[in-house]
Structure 1
């Protein structure tokens, strides 16, 4: 899956939406960089990110290391196309390991092009207990992080939808959509391990896209690890194409 590089304006727009859709508990702004902290739950919410194209990197590594150490967290950088090349070079030279390359996928959205959502998926605008507990089990959320996960969901400022898929009377599939400025982001997509490979993920995505299109969304995006071949095949089959990539740098 590959496309020409996305315009930097699209990268910045999607990055901004993603920061809003998955809000960190604490944000620190530093010379065009955003330092996010959320008690260690998820790399995205506990990482350093460029906010503007080509933000200067001099002194950022040292400032970030001091701040994250103060809060008992590792210094994790998430490097999108907004980050200047020298950031990656300096971090590599300082012994930060390249980790978890990922893609942001994007597609246009129109209600007329979407099929009828599967009846097994229920979409609500707040997460029921079955969604919260089932997602935590399916995605391996540690017990000490579950309250933090809930608080981050509660902090999302924009319209949300929670998809819950049932099979054989059990909640087995979960997904979150966040709508902002005409684009819907898909997050927290998870299917219980014993129910994977049966089309459950496709049903979840289609239900969330249908909700978003009805609410006025004209495009959709999501983030996926490059090594997750089954997910990439699923999203490509649903019309998503690569917008841009990013990766993490973590201390050795």
Structure 2
């Protein structure tokens, strides 16, 4: 069983790897923080994220974050993870940042897993036009923008797997994974509404876990909204456990 110190190291490892697994179009490093910009596509790629334990933001840095995001036409957003110093967390709240969403960071061992032999599962090293269009079509809001999604996934430079599940030749479920230094992030799991309830989401996640193991990874990690009970039950049944939780806060004024 992991100790608290080991868990703290895992949190830092996951958060740093996420920057590479889900790249933004533009980034700035400000102290112990990275500011990411991607035309508003996804929260992680358009927010300020701490990259070290006890990461701090002083008044000048908070002013700069708000200014830079507004200049890019974006709402200022800060991810408050366990890496954030308590004084900085309090300062963010005092500035009026409100909760946009709350998420869990989950992690699972990959020991004993191997590449899937399911004929219906396709895993490609690069995102095809069909994959990107298929994923975007199953999203909502600004996440339906194919071009903005493509701009992010095409920037991945690490070993990656872009998964598609086929039913009679029709692509009905998608997902992706990026491997880095023994760990793999899994994300963008989505299933066409007409094909839900048949376990295709599970098949995609299992396939990507097997892919990650075959790539030499010992652990897989992912992030999921705290209110997504269906996904949490699925991931729990596949061996994922809660490693940490965080919230994304935005400034409306």
- Given the two structures, how large is their TM-score scaled by the length of structure 2? 0.92
CA contact (8 A) 2:36 2:46 kept: yes
CA contact (8 A) 1:6 1:244 kept: no
Match for residue 73 of structure 1? 74
Q: Following the alignment from structure 2 to structure 1, what is the Cα–Cα distance between the partners of residues 70 and 140? A: 26
Kindly indicate whether residue 189 of structure 2 is the aligned counterpart of residue 221 of structure 1.
no
Instruction: Name the SS of the counterpart of 2:36 in structure 1.
Output: strand
Q: Following the alignment from structure 2 to structure 1, what is the Cα–Cα distance between the partners of residues 130 and 7? A: 40
TM-aligned CA deviation for residue 56 of structure 1: 2.2
Q: Following the alignment from structure 2 to structure 1, what is the Cα–Cα distance between the partners of residues 156 and 115? A: 28
Residue by residue over 1:177-231, the C-alpha shift from the partner in whole angstroms, topping out at 9 and shown as x without a partner, is 1000011110111111222222011000111111111111111101100100000
Match for residue 94 of structure 1? 95
Q: Following the alignment from structure 1 to structure 2, what is the Cα–Cα distance between the partners of residues 250 and 151? A: 24
Label 1:163 to 1:55 Cα distance change in 2 as closer, same or farther (>3 A).
same
* Structure 1: unaligned runs, 5 residues or longer: none
How is 1:99-110 mapped onto 2 (pairs within 5 angstroms)?
99-110=100-111
Q: How many residues align?
A: 249
Instruction: Name the SS of the counterpart of 2:224 in structure 1.
Output: strand
Worse-superposed segment, 144-153 or 34-43: 144-153
Label 1:144 to 1:174 Cα distance change in 2 as closer, same or farther (>3 A).
closer
TM-aligned CA deviation for residue 88 of structure 1: 2.3
TM-aligned CA deviation for residue 115 of structure 1: 8.5
CA contact (8 A) 2:113 2:213 kept: no
How is 1:191-210 mapped onto 2 (pairs within 5 angstroms)?
191-210=191-210
CA contact (8 A) 2:175 2:186 kept: yes
CA contact (8 A) 1:114 1:206 kept: no
Instruction: Name the SS of the counterpart of 2:145 in structure 1.
Output: helix
How is 1:165-244 mapped onto 2 (pairs within 5 angstroms)?
165-244=165-244
RMSD of aligned residue pairs (Cα, Å):
2.0
* Structure 2: unaligned runs, 5 residues or longer: none
Q: Following the alignment from structure 2 to structure 1, what is the Cα–Cα distance between the partners of residues 194 and 7? A: 40
Q: Following the alignment from structure 2 to structure 1, what is the Cα–Cα distance between the partners of residues 88 and 145? A: 31
TM-aligned CA deviation for residue 87 of structure 1: 2.3
Kindly indicate whether residue 23 of structure 2 is the aligned counterpart of residue 37 of structure 1.
no
- Given the two structures, how large is their TM-score scaled by the length of structure 1? 0.92
TM-aligned CA deviation for residue 100 of structure 1: 1.0
Worse-superposed segment, 205-214 or 125-134: 125-134
